[in-house]
């Protein structure tokens, strides 16, 4: 991870705040952040492991620390003030980080920058996310010192019932696997609350890329290779191939991709907002017909009735840090449990003083994750299942202490030690993350997905939208027995994930924002 420096020297492109595709935004707005470096390092190690567990991909954290050279004593160095320039955009693609940076430079808010960057990522890394999927978003409002959560996740269509999927073969792709997308609606909700620049202007960079074409990136090329290897017969997905195939093969890294149909749709959305896609009768009827022709079960009201949710973000305190995320059905309550378990160990710098102590720290983290993963199976959409007692338990210090009492530092255990149920393995690959920190101290953290690489592989012929396959993650049948060991698959938590119209499924990846308790990032 590259370090940010307050010293003059390298050019902007040579001095990223973080490794990866990050662009600093230097201005008169600089403030001091108090960091005890060793404690921060330990917390960072734990959070990185938890983030990898939750998201399974490199997630952007807009924190850059420059450790100033000093001849002071060890204790003085540990408590010194570290001054960093604030203003960063972190995405999966360099061009999209640049887009977000430019929005900040024009006086846009963190939300403005996040929306522009997200629309760009949907064009440049379409295997991971896009307007055919959904997202979770956390917005920190520095002026009012509050955090807001926006839930724009996919929901099951109106016609979705367990009976409809009773003969489901387990196939992950096709129209039947498409959930009602919420990505654009979440953007609009965020912009109505915290946007400053005109909505239309946030779409212009991505529209230009889609229209003029851009070189296929490495990660998208790798995802295409995986899809081609697994499916063999891409002719079954003609509109997918229209965009990503050439001469009977998938495109390779560096070859030009044009998304003219998607560009046209984005122009309509830029002019009219999400209503162009969700309320316009001509557009909606075409989308529904295409999805259903691919095997889907959509009704035009699925689009017209969709509304994102917004509510105060979940806040919890770990040590000197306030952390903000979403509640159920996201993995927020599970993350809180894991961190509560670990906080009880009173972790200090000594935990990484030797390889043996460091290994012990990692063992604690991994074991806490295992216990929390068992509880995750009981999470569900609180609008459909009653999980109040579960959420109270996950926040309980007594429950965290109970888990610590079952963690043995010299051994690990079979899965039956952590749970008597077996959850279905997650194979979600198509997920991305964007983090933005504005020069004013406002922040946005967004996790967006279409579930698998390229989602359902169903591409809209009229609009170029790549649809998600989020329905794959629901449970379609009642509890059954594992052929491996006879334990139940499903059991009491089947109701939490059983498919039902309008329902969100539980989802482990989540956005997270944290700061020290005096309100400094």
Query: For residue range 285-314, what is the model confidence (pLDDT) as tens digits?
Result: 999 999 999 999 999 999 999 999 999 999
150 is in an annotated binding site: no
**Of 8-12, 282-286, 321-325, where does mean pLDDT reach its minimum?**
8-12
**Of 70-84, 180-194, 255-269, 272-286, where does mean pLDDT reach its minimum?**
70-84
What does the chain come to in residues?
Answer: 521
Average pLDDT rounded to a whole number, residues 137-143: 95
Confidence of residue 13 (pLDDT cuts 50, 70, 90): very low
Average pLDDT rounded to a whole number, residues 407-425: 79
> The tokens 């020290």 sit on which residue?
516
Between residues 513 and 489, the one the model is more confident about: 513
Between residues 173 and 186, the one the model is more confident about: 186
Q: What is the reported pLDDT for 103?
A: 97
Between residues 170 and 433, the one the model is more confident about: 433
Q: What is the reported pLDDT for 149?
A: 96
* pLDDT over 70 at 107, yes or no: yes
Average pLDDT rounded to a whole number, residues 133-159: 96
357 is in an annotated binding site: no
Distances (CA, A) of 384 to 101, 376, 487, 503: 40, 16, 26, 7
Distance CA 113, CA 149 (A): 17
* pLDDT over 60 at 64, yes or no: no
Confidence of residue 70 (pLDDT cuts 50, 70, 90): very low
Q: What is the reported pLDDT for 87?
A: 86
Confidence of residue 386 (pLDDT cuts 50, 70, 90): confident
3-class state of residue 485 by DSSP: coil
Confidence of residue 46 (pLDDT cuts 50, 70, 90): low
Which residues are the active-site residues? 431
Confidence of residue 421 (pLDDT cuts 50, 70, 90): low
Q: What is the reported pLDDT for 230?
A: 81
* pLDDT over 50 at 54, yes or no: no
* pLDDT over 50 at 55, yes or no: no
Q: What is the reported pLDDT for 348?
A: 83
* pLDDT over 90 at 406, yes or no: yes
Per-range mean pLDDT, top range of 167-171, 186-190, 390-394, 413-417: 186-190
Q: What is the reported pLDDT for 29?
A: 37
What average pLDDT is seen over the chain?
81
Between residues 389 and 331, the one the model is more confident about: 389
Between residues 462 and 353, the one the model is more confident about: 462
* pLDDT over 50 at 5, yes or no: no
354 is in an annotated binding site: no
Between residues 478 and 441, the one the model is more confident about: 441
- Give the percent of the chain with pLDDT over 90: 56
42 is in an annotated binding site: no
Token code pair at residue 359:
């290994």
The enclosing H or E element of 37 equals: helix 37-55
Average pLDDT rounded to a whole number, residues 440-448: 94
Within 8 A by CB and 6+ apart from 211, the residues are 258, 259, 260, 263
Confidence of residue 319 (pLDDT cuts 50, 70, 90): confident
* pLDDT over 60 at 359, yes or no: yes
- Give the percent of the chain with pLDDT over 70: 76
Distance CA 444, CA 449 (A): 16
**Of 50-64, 192-206, 240-254, where does mean pLDDT reach its minimum?**
50-64
Give the long-range contacts of residues 350-358, CB within 8 A, separation 24 or more.
351/42, 352/41, 352/42, 352/45
Q: What is the reported pLDDT for 446?
A: 96
Using CB atoms within 10 Å of the CB of residue 430, give its burial: 0 to 12 exposed, 13 to 18 middle, 19+ buried: buried
Distances (CA, A) of 101 to 15, 106, 191, 215, 280: 14, 9, 17, 21, 33
473 is in an annotated binding site: yes
Average pLDDT rounded to a whole number, residues 324-352: 88
The enclosing H or E element of 325 equals: strand 321-325
Distance CA 120, CA 123 (A): 5
């Amino acid at each position: 991870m590259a370090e940010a420096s307050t010293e003059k020297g390298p050019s902007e492109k040579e001095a990223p705040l973080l490794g990866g595709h990050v662009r600093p935004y230097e201005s008169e707005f600089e403030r001091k952040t108090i960091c005890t470096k060793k404690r921060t390092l330990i917390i960072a190690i734990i959070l990185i492991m938890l983030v990898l567990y939750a998201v399974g991909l490199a997630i952007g954290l807009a924190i850059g620390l420059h450790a100033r050279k000093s001849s002071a004593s060890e204790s003085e160095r540990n408590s010194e003030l570290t001054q960093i320039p604030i203003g960063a955009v972190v995405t999966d693609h360099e061009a999209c980080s640049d887009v977000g940076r430019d929005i900040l430079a024009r006086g846009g808010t963190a939300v403005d920058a996040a929306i522009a960057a997200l629309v760009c990522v949907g064009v440049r890394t379409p295997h991971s996310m896009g307007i055919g999927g959904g997202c979770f978003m956390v917005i920190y409002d520095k002026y009012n010192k509050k955090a807001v959560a926006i839930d724009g996740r996919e929901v099951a269509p109106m016609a979705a019932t367990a009976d409809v999927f009773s003969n489901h073969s387990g196939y992950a792709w096709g129209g039947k696997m498409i959930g009602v997308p919420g990505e654009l609606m979440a953007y609009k909700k965020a912009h109505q609350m915290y946007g400053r620049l005109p909505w239309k202007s946030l779409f212009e960079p991505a529209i230009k890329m889609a229209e003029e074409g851009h070189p296929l990136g490495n990660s998208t090329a790798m995802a295409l290779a995986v899809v081609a290897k697994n499916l063999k017969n891409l002719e079954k997905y003609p509109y997918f191939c229209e965009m990503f195939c050439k001469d009977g093969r998938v495109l390779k890294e560096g070859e030009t991709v044009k998304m003219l149909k998607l560009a046209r749709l984005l122009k309509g959305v830029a002019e009219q907002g999400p209503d162009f896609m969700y309320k316009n009768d001509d557009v909606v009827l075409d989308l529904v017909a295409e999805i259903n022709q691919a095997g889907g079960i959509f009704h035009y009201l699925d689009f017209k009735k969709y509304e994102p949710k917004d509510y105060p973000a979940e806040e919890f305190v770990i040590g000197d840090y306030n952390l903000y995320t979403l509640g159920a059905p996201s993995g927020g309550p599970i993350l809180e449990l894991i961190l509560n378990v670990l906080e009880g160990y009173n972790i200090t710098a000594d935990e990484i003083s030797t390889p043996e102590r460091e290994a012990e720290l990692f063992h604690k983290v991994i074991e806490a994750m295992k216990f929390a993963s068992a509880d995750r199976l009981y999470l569900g959409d609180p609008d459909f299942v009653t999980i109040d007692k579960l959420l109270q338990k996950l926040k309980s210090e007594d429950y965290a202490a109970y888990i610590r009492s079952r963690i043995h530092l010299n051994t690990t255990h079979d899965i039956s030690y952590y749970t008597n149920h077996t959850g279905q393995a997650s194979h979600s690959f198509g997920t991305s993350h964007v983090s933005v920190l504005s020069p004013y101290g406002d922040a946005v953290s967004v996790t967006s997905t279409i579930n698998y690489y390229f989602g359902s592989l169903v591409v809209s012929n009229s609009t170029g939208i790549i649809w998600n396959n989020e329905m794959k993650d629901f449970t379609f049948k009642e509890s059954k027995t594992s052929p491996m060991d006879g334990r139940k698959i499903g059991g009491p938590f089947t109701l939490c994930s059983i498919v039902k119209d309008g329902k969100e499924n539980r989802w482990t990846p989540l956005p997270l924002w944290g700061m020290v308790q005096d309100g400094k990032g």
